[in-house]
Amino acid sequence: MYKLPFIMIGLSIWQFSFAQPLNNHLQFDGTDDYISLNNMDVSGNAITLEAIINSSDLSNCQFRDCRIISKAVGLSTPEHYWMLSTNYSGPNTVLRFRLKTNGISTILVATAGPLSENTWYHVAATYDGANMKLFLDGTEVGSTTKTGALTINPAVEAWIGANPPSIENPWKGGIDEVRIWNVARTQTQLQAYSNNELTGTEVGLQAYYQLNEGNGQTINDQAGNNNTVLGSTTSADSSDPTFAINNPEQNITFNLQVILEGAFDPAQSTMTGNLLQKHMLPQGQPYTGSPWYYQGTEGDGWLPIDYPLGTVDWVLVSIRTTLDPAAEVARAAAVLLEDGTISPFDVDLNTAGSLYVMIEHRNHLPILSPQPIPIINNTVSYDFTLEDCYNVGTGFGQKLVGTNWMMYAGNADQEGLNSCDINSADRTFWDTVNGLFGVYNPGDFNLDGDINAADRIVFSFNNGIFTRIPKSTDTVGTNPILTCPPPSSVLDN
């Protein structure tokens, strides 16, 4: 077994929040705890206020109006320059955003996204010169029009966890990853980075508090502009929030089995390892480009001698907490062996729940486990060859060959919706590479290193097969999430 690097993916659905503090965080007592950001100002025509929060008592403040970030001289609307807080909305508690431009303050109250206590959320308020918006776990939950330049006042303090200048409406619970920008972060950016720490050098980042210090009075601004302290003094006192050391992540081993139809030899009931035998496997995992954009370094610099004996090819494994692609928490590239074993790998996760597993291959239809797989003794084990995968409606799951379930071959073109079905785009792709020999190419459907009529036969058997699994065109978040529809086009064989 070997440990692989993996990519953590931010989560972005507010109905079922999967936000978590990213490292250490601060706990505010709901009485007098706060952090002064001194006289911080943001100028221009755009702003973003961003944090990860968890309230242990949403009713701690009158009207459930508890401050997360606030620059103000009092509690009333005209006294605020910018503010992100909670507020009541009928029986629910939702987000609220106040902003002053051209000397006029405006309130935006979220129209969706009710908050629950003891639940972590990623929250954000943005203004782009035309609209104020609120986001909860990457989902827009409120919007209103507004124009003008931000009103600044270098004599007014900004605080985390309470309203200046007299510790009003204090937050009770956890706060992590406070980010203040002079640009309006897009929904895609919020989703992509909500569960990932930043470098501090991002364009437009004015202040960035990871709150990872763990002890002492100093709170560092990773953007390098505005270091500060707990409370407002360099000495410990009752106004200091307390550091919370998060539970360490679990190191989870994944033991998975899958069969690629293209490489399967029914006579031997195993897959062939022609690509390794012919020294055609790449010097590193092949999913760095479109549509996967996975940047893991698995296999970097590998020569044929470095591959495990019996390697067939690389697969890309994605791990989710729900069926929603936005609930993806990690990915890893791993080598698949002739007996169907995906060479075991480890990832670090901070979840104790069950996990969905999706398998992708560069010229086979993707598959997803039909149900979440429990973590048992820090191990996730599942054999896709024993039963059909996730399948809904008119879609297909896996192909049954003899007693083995396996991934459908023939899916060479996986750009956008073409990733969902085996269709004319795949035949066209094969046509453009037909006749190549000794290559590592998606048009080689039977994975023998040569592209010829045998590969077209594989395509012909599966032409028109499609999947309905919920997947995204890429899991970096640069393209919209899609649920695979019925096939887009089918070509006569």
**Would you kindly state where each structural domain of the chain is located, as residue ranges?**
25-244, 250-483
Angle formed at CA 444 by CA 282 and CA 290, multiple of 5 degrees: 60
pLDDT higher than threshold 60 for residue 13: no
Most confident of 195-199, 262-266, 476-480: 262-266
Mean pLDDT value of segment 34-57 = 96
CATH class, 25-244 region? mainly beta
Contact between residue 480 and residue 473 where contact means Cβ atoms under 8 Å apart: yes
Q: pLDDT-based confidence at 104, cuts 50/70/90?
A: very high
Mean pLDDT value of segment 440-452 = 97
Contact between residue 478 and residue 191 where contact means Cβ atoms under 8 Å apart: no
| Residue 38, amino acid | N
Question: Which of 451, 452, 462, 454 lies closest to 422 in space, CA to CA?
Answer: 462
Contact between residue 256 and residue 345 where contact means Cβ atoms under 8 Å apart: no
From its phi and psi, is residue 265 left (phi > 0), alpha (psi between -120 and 50) or beta?
beta
- End-to-end CA distance of the chain, in Å? 43
Q: DSSP 3-state assignment of 155?
A: coil
What is the rounded distance in angstroms from the CA atom of residue 59 to the CA atom of residue 75?
17
Radius of gyration of the chain (CA): 26
Q: pLDDT-based confidence at 3, cuts 50/70/90?
A: very low
Query: Is domain 250-483 annotated with CATH 3.40.50.170?
Result: no
DSSP one-letter string for 171-186: -EEEEEEEEEESS---
Residue 158 pairs in a beta bridge with 71
pLDDT of res. 126: 98
Encoding tokens for residue 275?
Answer: 């690509």
Do domains 25-244 and 250-483 share one topology? The answer is no
Encoding tokens for residue 322?
Answer: 């729900």
Mean pLDDT value of segment 464-472 = 83
pLDDT higher than threshold 90 for residue 323: no
Least confidently predicted of 173-182, 205-214, 371-380 = 371-380
* Model pTM score: 0.53
Sign of CA dihedral 379, 384, 389, 395: positive
Query: Using omega within 30 degrees of 0 as the cis cutoff, is the peptide bond preceding 165 cis?
Result: yes
pLDDT in tens, 60-82: 999 999 999 999 999 999 999 99
pLDDT of res. 428: 95
pLDDT of res. 483: 53
pLDDT in tens, 256-269: 999 999 999 999 99
What is the rounded distance in angstroms from the CA atom of residue 329 to the CA atom of residue 77?
39
What is the rounded distance in angstroms from the CA atom of residue 141 to the CA atom of residue 136?
6
pLDDT higher than threshold 90 for residue 10: no
Instruction: State the residue for tokens 């629910």.
Output: 92
pLDDT higher than threshold 70 for residue 5: no
What is the rounded distance in angstroms from the CA atom of residue 317 to the CA atom of residue 311?
16
Instruction: State the residue for tokens 């997947």.
Output: 471
pLDDT of res. 476: 40
Question: Which of 403, 397, 328 lies closest to 366 in space, CA to CA?
Answer: 397
Contact between residue 256 and residue 317 where contact means Cβ atoms under 8 Å apart: yes
Instruction: State the residue for tokens 């990457």.
Output: 138
Query: Using omega within 30 degrees of 0 as the cis cutoff, is the peptide bond preceding 304 cis?
Result: no
Instruction: State the residue for tokens 């009092």.
Output: 74
Encoding tokens for residue 90?
Answer: 């009928």
392 or 144: which leads in pLDDT: 144
251 or 358: which leads in pLDDT: 358
pLDDT of res. 484: 62
Q: pLDDT-based confidence at 383, cuts 50/70/90?
A: very high
Q: pLDDT-based confidence at 418, cuts 50/70/90?
A: low
Residue 110 pairs in a beta bridge with none
What is the rounded distance in angstroms from the CA atom of residue 414 to the CA atom of residue 392?
20
pLDDT higher than threshold 80 for residue 106: yes
| H-type alpha helices, 46-166 | none
Q: pLDDT-based confidence at 377, cuts 50/70/90?
A: confident
pLDDT of res. 395: 83
Contact between residue 348 and residue 255 where contact means Cβ atoms under 8 Å apart: no
pLDDT higher than threshold 50 for residue 478: no
